[in-house]
Amino acid sequence: MEGVSSAALLQETLQGGTDDIAFQASLIWDAIRAPVVVPLLRLSVFLCLVMSVMLFVERVYMGVVIAFVKLLRRKPEKRYKWEPMKDDIELGNSVYPMILVQIPMFNEKEVYQLSIGSACGLSWPADRIIVQVLDDSTDPTIKDLVETECHKWASKGIDIKYEIRDNRNGYKAGALKEGLKRSYVRQCDFVVIFDADFQPEPDFLWRTVPFLIHNPEIGLVQARWKFVNADECLMTRIQEMSLDYHFTVEQEVGSSTYAFFGFNGTAGVWRIEALNEAGGWKDRTTVEDMDLAVRASLKGWKFLYVADVRVKNELPSTLKAYRYQQHRWSCGPANLFRKMVMEIIRNKKVTAWKKVHVIYSFFFVRKLVAHINTFVFYCVVLPATVLVPEVVVPKWGSVYIPSIVTLLNSVGTPRSFHLVSFWILFENVMAMHRTKGTIIGLLETSRVNEWIVTEKLGDAAKAKATSARQHKRPRLKIADRLHLLELGVGAYLFFCGTYDVFFGKNQFFIFLFLQAIAFCIVGFGYVGTVVSSS
C-alpha cells in the first residue's frame, strides 16, 4: 500500500507540475498578448500588405506592358535594325566580325561533350570564331577528358583553345576575366558565353550578332533558355513555370521599355567594348553576371532580349542542387544591391526614370520584397493571426491579391496551368531559403560569397535510359534526408491549422494544412530526383 501511495503521490505531483507550467505559460501569454503581441502582429500585417500591394502593382504593370508588346507585335527586328549577314567578294571573310565563344567549366563530366560539341558546331566562318574552354576542374581525370575533347575538335579544323588556371579565384567571374586577357582575344569584337550545360543551335550567331553590328548602342543580346529536362519531375516543371515567367515577362519588359535587364550569365552575346567600358568581370558577389549588366547599363549601353532564339539547357533536378542555386540567386542580388545602390543614385549618364526602374523595380521589389513577403506573410504572419483573433487580415490581402498575382505568374507556361496549386506551395517553401539568402546578402554575413556549382546530370533522355542505375532511391543517411528548417515550419503551420479548426474564425486551415504538408514533403527529402553518388 505504501508503494502504491508513493506512486500515486508522484503521479499527482507531476500532474500538478504540468498543470502549473501550463497555468504559468497561460498567464505570461495573457500578460504580453494585448500590449506586445497584438501591436507587433498588426504592424507585421500592415507591412506585409504594403509589400503585397507593391508586388501586385509591379505584376499588373508588367502584364500591361507585355499585352501591348504582343498586340503591337513589337518584335526586336522592328525596334532595332536587323539585316542578315552577306558575303563580300572583295573583303572575303573579313566582313564578318571576330567572335570569341567562352565556356567556363568546373568538373563537368556529364555535360562537357555536349557543350563543347554545340559550341564547335556553331555556323560561322571558321577563321572568324575562336572557342575558348575555361576549365577550372579540380579532378585530374575530368581535366584530361576535357582536354582530349578539345584536341579532337582542333583536329577537325576548329580554332579551340583549352585554358586552365592554377587557382579558382573569383570562380566563374575569375575564369571569364582571365580568359579575356589572352593575346588572341584582342582581335575579337564580340564574346559569347555558354555555361557548361548549354547547347546552342548552329544558327545562334546568325540570329543574334547582326543586332550588335547594325546597332552600336546595344551592348548585350540575350537569348532565351529552353529546358531539356522540364518533364523530368514535378520540381523541374515548377522551376520551368517560374523561369518562363522571368523570360516571357520580366526580360521582355526590361528589353522593351528601359532596354535594361539582368544578364542571365549565359546564352548571351556581349560587345567586348561594352564589357571593358563597364569595368570587366568582378567577383565581389556571386551574381557576377548581374553586376556586369548593371555597370554596363549605367554607362549607357542598351540590352536586347531575343525571345525567339532559344538555347537548350538543364534544370537542377535534385533538391540539394536547387537549394544551392536558389541561395546564390537570392543572396547575390541582395548583396549587389547593398554595394551598388549609392553608385546607381549618383550616376549621371542615365535618366532618373531608369534609375528608379533599376533600384525600385529590378532590385527592391523583385529581388528583396518578393522573397521576403512570400515567406514572412504566407508562412509566418498569416498563420499567426489564427492564434490572435484580434488581428484581422483583409480578404483583398489574403485572397484577391495573391490569386491575381498567381494567375499573372502562370501566363508564361500555359501547359502547366493545372499545376498552379503545387507551384504556390513549393514556391512558398523555397521562399524560406530565398529569404534567408536575401538577409545574408543584405547583412553580408558568413555565407554571402558561397559558390557551389549547380550539379548537372547530362542529357535527360540518357538519364531516363539509365534510371534504374541513377534515379532509383539510394540508401541515404537520415541527416542527408531530413531538413530541419522545413520540418520546423511545417510543424508550426500544422499547429496553427489545428488551432484554426477548433478555435479559429479565419478558416485558413485548408491552406495551412496543405502548406504544412508541402514543407514536410520537402523536409523529408521527397522532392526532385535522388541521384546515387556511386
Residue 390 inside a domain? The answer is no
Inter-axis angle of helices 319-346 and 288-298, nearest 10: 20
Give every CB contact of residue 125 below 8 A, 6+ residues apart in sequence.
Answer: 93, 96
Say how far apart CA 55 and CA 310 lie, in whole Å. 28
- pLDDT tier for residue 24 given thresholds of 50, 70 and 90: confident
DSSP state string for 3-49 = HHHHHHHHHHHHHHHHHHHHHHHHHHHHHHIIIIIHHHHHHHHHHHH
Q: What is the dihedral of CA 220, 224, 229, 232, to 10 degrees?
A: 120
Residue 411 inside a domain? The answer is no
Catalytic residues: 136, 289
Position 46 pLDDT exceeds 70: yes
- Region 495-504: mean pLDDT is 92
- Region 84-103: mean pLDDT is 85
Host H or E run for residue 309: strand 302-313
Residue 115 inside a domain? The answer is yes
- Region 289-298: mean pLDDT is 96
The residues that bridge with 160 in the sheet, in sequence order, are: 131
Least confident of 72-81, 260-269, 320-329, 487-496: 72-81
- pLDDT for 470 equals 46
Host H or E run for residue 65: helix 38-71
- Region 304-321: mean pLDDT is 94
Residue 264 inside a domain? The answer is yes
Residue 22 inside a domain? The answer is no
Position 480 pLDDT exceeds 80: no
Question: What would the pLDDT profile of 218-258 be if each residue is shown by its tens digit?
Answer: 999 999 999 999 999 999 999 999 999 999 999 999 999 88
Question: Can you give the residue range of the structural domain that contains 169?
Answer: 77-317
Residue 331 inside a domain? The answer is no
- pLDDT for 469 equals 39
**Number of folded domains that form the chain:** 1
Question: What would the pLDDT profile of 505-517 be if each residue is shown by its tens digit?
Answer: 878 999 999 999 9
Residue 510 inside a domain? The answer is no
Question: What would the pLDDT profile of 402-436 be if each residue is shown by its tens digit?
Answer: 999 999 888 888 899 999 999 999 999 999 999 99
Supply the CATH number for residue 273's domain.
Answer: 3.90.550.10
Give every CB contact of residue 366 below 8 A, 6+ residues apart in sequence.
Answer: 58, 250
Residue 70 inside a domain? The answer is no
